[in-house]
Each structure stands twice: as structure tokens, then as C-alpha cells.
Amino acid sequence: MAFIRTLMTPLRAPLRRLIASWVEFRLIEPATDELDLDPTLPVLYVLPHPSLSDTLLLESLCRARGLPPAAGLRRVGEIALPACLALPSPRRHLWRRASRREEAPFLALLEQRRRHPDHEVQLVPVSVFWGRAPGKRFGFWKMLAADSWQFTGRLRRALSVLVNGKNVELHFGAPLRLGDLLDERGAALANRKTARLLRVHFRRLRTRVLGPDLSHRRTLIEGVVRSPEVRQVIETLAEEERTSRARLQQRALRYGREIASNMAYPVLRFMDGLLRRLWNRLYDGVEVRGLERVKGLAGDHTLVYVPCHRSHIDYLLLSYVLYRDGLMPPHIAAGRNLDMPLIGPLLRRGGAFFLRRSFRDNRLYAAVFNEYLHRLLSRGHPLEYFIEGGRSRSGRLLAARPGMLLMTLRSYLRRAAGSGQQRLAFVPIYIGYERIIENASYQRELRGGRKRKESPLALLRVLGQLRQPFGRVAVNVGEPLTLADYLDREVGDWRQTLGEERPAWLTPLVPRLGEELCRRINAAAALNPVNLVALVLLATPHHAIEVSLLERQLALLVDLQRHHPGGAHTSLPEGTPVEWIDQVVALGMVERRGHPLGDILVADAGQAGLLAWYRNNVMHLFALAGLVAFAFRRQPTHRLDTLEALLSPSWPILARELVIEPPASLRAALAEMLDLLVDQGLLERAGEEWRRPEEPLEAGERLRLLGQLMQPSLERGYLLLAVLLDAGPGELVAEELAERSRQLAERLALLSGLDAPEFFDTRLFANLVESLEREGWLWREGERLMFDERLRRAAQRSRELFDPALRHRLQLLTRRREA
């Protein structure tokens, strides 16, 4: 070894220049100017294992970026060490087993630091990835060249430099100071402690970037079919259906091949390049926020990404963002309808696994799918699925479906009962678009049109739209939910039920978990120019507004979010209201009409229908502000006590409809919002009262526009209560109540000229009924809905929110329906 190092010394400089000229970094994290290095202290770089190519690459990077040099010797006190060190790795020889691991090279430095506290040193861990392969065979040359979980030899690393030199990632770890690692037990123990900390860091980073090793697909499917859980179902069905076990096993293998992904690194590389060009052509930019929360968990948690589902682009966008930022792309649960010619195989190799829309009555398919999902989770593979089930045609976040959440929970409990507790975290993701490619199809389906079946031909039609502008897209990471902490908080003694196939607490917990994840998704919403303009423009009677008033109202909405955000991780748009309006006009979402007295922004019927989808993306952010503003529509003056009494019955129902986290104290939130509206000039305070300002008139108009945001939701609630109270207790079932209310809402929309199909969406009324039950206003006797005088009194108070003209119109509509 010494002879080889002596031989290589004169070759280091030309090799370093050769690597510097050949290599292109795909990612350097963190950026070199963000490293938290103390310039007064010497720096030693540490690699996870000896590697000449990694050392030379680091040396050239440090020279190019002005970092402390990684070449030559670094003298610290009386000790001289190479500026770039490596943790020792076992030496393997063909003729004998690996030798015992050598001691880490920090002992002398630690002993010197203990004697001389001023001889401090910073250790900077460095990980280099030449290509990224998740441990799976995918072709001879790529198999030899790409980084995986197997450490490489010299020949293989040389080949890796040649093949993957244009796809290199370099990750710096947080600097470690020797003084922080010393304790009274001595330098030898501190040396082992240092090596252990570094190895843990390198292992977690490698897991984050590469993911766990992938089994060969065929081997994985065969393992699923041979599992005790699937074999037990085969035995049961063989007896019940009098079918041979061999035939059932072949059916199970067919199901496994239908389900399983076939993630391939070359496809990930191909998709990365393809999607980079697609996003650059399709969008003006992809803004990602909050990904550092994921990176903090990725090394030692199994991650389950749960994005909102607004577009087919969601599948591709999230995987691209994760891969681009140094995280392993997840395995994605996709509907079987996407497993079509050409597209299906590509998605499968990109990590998609396919499931049928329903398999409740197919026990063998359910067993195979459950076992496949469990094996992915128990091996630590990141997953992605859409808890809403399908794409939202209305723009609202849909209620979470229990299927995948229940299977994930059961897998987690099975793992915890077997080989020990697994760390698992749900990662909520909000994806916000300024324009989606499904605009036309969503509007057609909302008006009763049939959903068209996905096909390659439909994809070609979509590709024809790529010349159109689509603005920007935001990917916001919400607050992750670690499952163990959630179970401790919600169940408490859940560990005592490990081993039970289906604990009693499991079924009622799943909907609560879904609601919590939905709230966290909505709490990370992104405001953009399109949804801001939609919020204001659709609050006007004829979908037209003066541009000057629109600019001030847009600034108001952003200021409200800046001082009283509707979510913990909400993001605001950059730029000014003038620039936002220009962006929406450029996207073709509205029309700007010139006028001598000032320009006017107008949306025709088709544009208004499209804008409603984008408004619904973020309307929840203004729930409290809109409700308070609406309360001043009829009554010009309120005290805090009377306002709280007026809004408290409606607020929990509204919060549930809009999927937001209610404040701990409604009274405190109301007081804060009232003061904020005073600061904005929309209200005036006189002692213990707040009132609408008489002057200027524009303040009243802006307050009215803000309150108009909540009017559709309040009108739906009014109609439903009117139908229920007129019918009386025990007269209606939930489905009948929802349908009658929907019919009234549809009639109201037609009479009002409101071209908004989501206003009379049956699911909204069904959710209202469920919310009233959850809040205790309704209960069931058999299938019949029951209520008492408390609901009548609460409904009477809620009527006071509406001005006489609006109330008269709603009452008249209700009476005509009952007649």
C-alpha cells in the first residue's frame, strides 16, 4: 500500500485536473457558502471510506469554491495529518476473511486537544455519490459504475468516474468539534465515539439518498406469494372454492406482477432529464419550500408522502423534486387505469405500483397487495399515495379515504409486534398550480360530463397543450407527522394491543388520522397570483372589478396572511399586485379592458368557472377573516361577546368543511382578527365595540368583498338547516337531506346566475350532515336524523348573519321547494 501511495504521488496533480475538467456536479448540499465553518479553526475533511477519486474531487472543489484546502498536510499543534481523512474500512482479500476494522485516525488529535484546549479542530463529513442506484441490478455497465450500498474497488470506481462523471452529488455534513466529543473517560473512548457518530451520519445520508436496497422484482413477488399471510388465504380459498392450490398460487403471482413496481435507475435518470426539460417548457419555475423537514427525517424514518391530488402532473412533479434535491424518489401508489400501453411500463420503472379501485370482495388480491405494501414499508422504502383517492375536480381538498391509511397502520403495527418498532413519518405535501392541464376536463365533468378513460391518445392530446403558458408551480412541505408520537397522543396504550389482528381503536382512528393529515396539507397552502385574483374577482356580482380596487384588495389578502396566517407553513407570492394581475392576464385566465376612467378586469362565464377551481384551493386560508367580515354585513356594530355568540355555532362546521385547524380559543382569535381589520382600515374601534367605517366608502366595499368569500358556505348551511327544520326530527335520512339541499342549492345558483357547479356538490352537503353529527347537533335513531330545540335556537342565531334581502330570498326558495 505504501508503495502504491508513493507511486501515485506525482500523478495526483494531473489526475485532479482531469477529474475537475470531467466532473459536473448535479447537486452540492449545502451550498459551499452556507457551510457553518469557523474561519479561525483548522478544518479536516472526513470521507466514509478511502477513495482517491473522492479525495481528488474534494481537493478540486475546495480550490474552486474558496474552501479550506483539502490537499496536503494540516498541522495542528505538534501533529500533522492529511487535510482529507477517511474512516477505515475492513480490508478484504480473496484468500482470507476481512481483517478487523482499524481504529479511527483521531486519537492523537483528541489526546492533544485534551491537553491543550486551544488546539481545536473542525471535522467536516463529506459524502460523494457517483450516480445513484438503489442497490438493484439494471445493466452491466451501470451496475458496475453507479454508487450503491456496496463499497467499490479501484477498477469499479475508475469506471464510475468515466460513466457517471456528469451526475455527481456531494453532501457536506455539519462540522464536528473535537472539544464537543471529549469527556472524562479518555481520548480512546472519544475516538471510538467520533468514528461511531460519523458512521451513523454517513449511513443515514446514504439511506436518504439511495434508499434501501431493492430486491429483484421477481424475487420480491415470489416472496410475497410464499408469505404465511398469502398462503393462509390460498388454503382457505382452496377449501371454499374447491380450487387447486397451484391454480390459486398462479393467480396470486399474476396479481403480484400486476401490482409490483419495477424501479430502474436508468429510467430515473432518463425521467430526471426529460422532466427537467418538461418543467422548463411547461412552467416558469418550480418553487420548493420546507424540504429540509424531510431531510431531517429521511435517514432514520420510513417516509410516506401524502400530497394533495390536483393533477396527473403531481405524480411526476414530486418524484422529480425529491430526486433533484438529493432524496430517494418514492414508490407511488397509482390507479390501475394508468397501467396502459407505453405509459404503464414507464411509470412502473419510475417507481409506480398499481392498485385496483376496489378489491374488498377479492380476498386473494387484498392479501397480495397488503403483503407487498408491508414489505415495502418494513424495508424502509419511501412511499407516496394520495389519501383523497382521486383528483379534486372542484379544487377543494377532498376527504381522506381510509384504505391506504388503514393498510399502512396495520403494517406498522405488524412490524412493531414482530421485529421491533419502526420509525415511520407521514409527510404532507401541498402542490399549487397557477394553471393546470386538466382545466377543460374538470369543467366538463363538474357539469355532468363523463370522465374520459385514460389512454395514450389522451396523453398525446395533452402534449398538444405544452405550447400554452402554465405559470409557476409550488411544492410546499407541511409539518410531518411521526406515527408513534401520534399514536401515543391519540391512543396512549396502543402498544398493549400489539399482536391483535385488528385492535378496537384502529377503525375509528383512521378517519381522525386522515383529517389530521388533510389539515396539515391545507396548512401548507401556497398563495399565487391566480388564486388571489380568483378570490377577489369571484366575490363581485358580475365578475368584474376596477383594477385599482383589485390591486388594493390583493394587497389586503396578502397582508392578512402575513400577520394572521391561515396555516403554519403557508407561502406568499413574490412581487406586487400589479405584477400579479399582469401574470393572470398573460395566462389567459381573465381579460383586461381599457376604460378612460380606469381599466377593468373581467372574467366571462367560462373563465369564472375555471377561476372557481383555483379559488377553492386556498379559500380556507381566509375562513376566519371572511366570517368576521360577513358578520358586519347586516349589523354595522359588534361587541366581542355578541360576535362570539353569533359565530360560535357556525365556526366548527365551517372549519370542518374547509379542513382547517380551529384555534385553541375562538374568542382570542376573533379579538386578534378584529384588531387586524382595524389596522387595515376596514373597521373602527370605539371602546368595547367594533363598527364599519362610514367613510371612506371603499373600506365598506373591501369589507364586503372579504365577507363574500364565506357567503356560499354559509348559504349552503342555511339551506340544509331550513330543509331539516321544516321536515322535523325523525323525518329524513342523511342521503335524502343532502339531496334535497343540493336541489335547492342548484335552483338558487340558476336563479342567481351563479355558474359554479361546486356550489351544489352533493358531497359538500353530505359532509355538512356529518359535521352536524360530529358536533352533537344531530344524532340517528336507526337511519332517521334527530335533533332538538338546541339546533333550532342555533339556527335562529345563525340567521342573524344574513341581511333581510338575502334571508328573504333563501326563505322563499325553501318554501317553494316544500310546497
Q: What pLDDT digit, counting tens, does each position of 763-802 carry? A: 888 889 999 998 899 999 999 999 999 998 888 888 878 7
Say yes or no: 21 and 155 in one domain. Answer: yes
Would you say residue 591 lies in a domain? yes
Question: Three cell numbers at 446?
Answer: 363538474
Among 708, 724, 751, the domain boundary falls at: 708
Would you say residue 581 lies in a domain? yes
Residue 503 confidence (pLDDT):
92
Q: Answer whether residue 372 shows pLDDT above 90.
A: yes
Residue 694 confidence (pLDDT):
82
> Mapping DSSP to helix (H, G, I), strand (E, B) and coil, where does residue 157 land?
helix
Residue 814 confidence (pLDDT):
63
> Mapping DSSP to helix (H, G, I), strand (E, B) and coil, where does residue 320 land?
helix
Q: Which residues share a beta bridge with 481?
A: 426
Say yes or no: 679 and 727 in one domain. Answer: no
Residue 3 confidence (pLDDT):
43
Among 670, 685, 708, the domain boundary falls at: 708
Contacts 24+ apart (CB under 8 A), 681-685: 682/556, 682/629, 682/706, 683/632
Q: Are 323 and 475 in contact (CB under 8 A)?
A: no
Summarize pLDDT for 162-187 with one digit per residue, the tens: 777 888 899 999 999 988 888 777 88
Q: 758 or 645: which carries more pLDDT confidence? A: 645
Summarize pLDDT for 795-805 with one digit per residue, the tens: 888 887 876 76
Q: 703 or 216: which carries more pLDDT confidence? A: 703
Angle between helices 547-563 and 666-679 (to 10 degrees): 140
Summarize pLDDT for 634-666 with one digit per residue, the tens: 889 999 999 999 999 889 999 999 999 989 899
Question: Three cell numbers at 484?
Answer: 408513534
Say yes or no: 186 and 222 in one domain. Answer: no
Q: Answer whether residue 150 shows pLDDT above 50.
A: no
Q: Is 366 exposed, middle or buried (0-12, 13-18, 19+ CB in 10 A)?
A: middle
Q: How far apart are CA 416 and CA 412, in angstroms?
A: 6
Among 51, 74, 60, which residue's Cα sits nearest to residue 123? 74
Say yes or no: 180 and 303 in one domain. Answer: no
Say yes or no: 517 and 545 in one domain. Answer: no
Q: Which range of residues forms the domain containing residue 50? A: 2-210
Residue 466 confidence (pLDDT):
62
Q: Answer whether residue 97 shows pLDDT above 90.
A: no
Q: Answer whether residue 416 shows pLDDT above 50.
A: yes
Residue that has been written with the C-alpha cell 382521486 in this structure: 390
pLDDT band at residue 233 under the 50/70/90 scheme: very high
Say yes or no: 646 and 511 in one domain. Answer: no
Residue 448 confidence (pLDDT):
64
Highest mean pLDDT among 11-20, 139-148, 433-442, 726-735: 726-735
Residue 149 confidence (pLDDT):
42
pTM passes above 0.95? no
Would you say residue 8 lies in a domain? yes
Residue 145 confidence (pLDDT):
47
Say yes or no: 238 and 266 in one domain. Answer: yes
Residue 502 confidence (pLDDT):
87
Residue 246 confidence (pLDDT):
92
Cα–Cα distance list, 788 to 55, 507, 728, 794 (Å):
77, 30, 9, 11
Q: Which residues share a beta bridge with 123?
A: 44, 176
Longest dimension (CA), the chain: 102
CA angle 700, 704, 707 (to 5 degrees): 140
Cα torsion 466, 470, 472, 473: sign = negative
We report the CATH number of the domain holding residue 740 as 1.10.10
Query: What secondary structure letter does DSSP report for 435?
Result: S
Q: 123 or 131: which carries more pLDDT confidence? A: 123
Percent of all residues in the chain with a pLDDT value above 70, rounded to a whole number = 88
Residue 263 confidence (pLDDT):
84
Q: What average pLDDT score do residues 82-91 get?
A: 82
Lowest mean pLDDT across 154-163, 545-554, 597-606: 154-163
Would you say residue 510 lies in a domain? yes
Would you say residue 452 lies in a domain? no
Among 663, 680, 708, the domain boundary falls at: 708
Lowest mean pLDDT across 242-246, 374-378, 437-441, 639-643: 437-441
Residue 590 confidence (pLDDT):
95
Say yes or no: 550 and 688 in one domain. Answer: yes
Q: What average pLDDT score do residues 203-232 get?
A: 84
Task: Domain count for the chain, please give it.
Answer: 4
Residue that has been written with the C-alpha cell 360530463 in this structure: 449
Would you say residue 462 lies in a domain? no
Query: 312-342 burial by CB neighbour count: b if 16+ within 10 A, else e?
Result: bbbbbbbbbbbbbebbbbbbbbbeeebbbee
Say yes or no: 242 and 285 in one domain. Answer: yes
Among 338, 344, 324, which residue's Cα sits nearest to residue 280? 324
Residue 543 confidence (pLDDT):
92
Q: Answer whether residue 152 shows pLDDT above 70.
A: no
Would you say residue 438 lies in a domain? no
Among 615, 618, 613, which residue's Cα sits nearest to residue 440? 613
Taking all residues of the chain, what is their mean pLDDT, rounded to a whole number? 86
Q: Are 88 and 106 in contact (CB under 8 A)?
A: no
Question: Three cell numbers at 625?
Answer: 377573516
Q: Are 121 and 41 in contact (CB under 8 A)?
A: yes
Would you say residue 671 lies in a domain? yes
Say yes or no: 176 and 236 in one domain. Answer: no
Say yes or no: 34 and 48 in one domain. Answer: yes
Among 122, 151, 146, 123, which residue's Cα sits nearest to residue 136? 146
Say yes or no: 516 and 546 in one domain. Answer: no
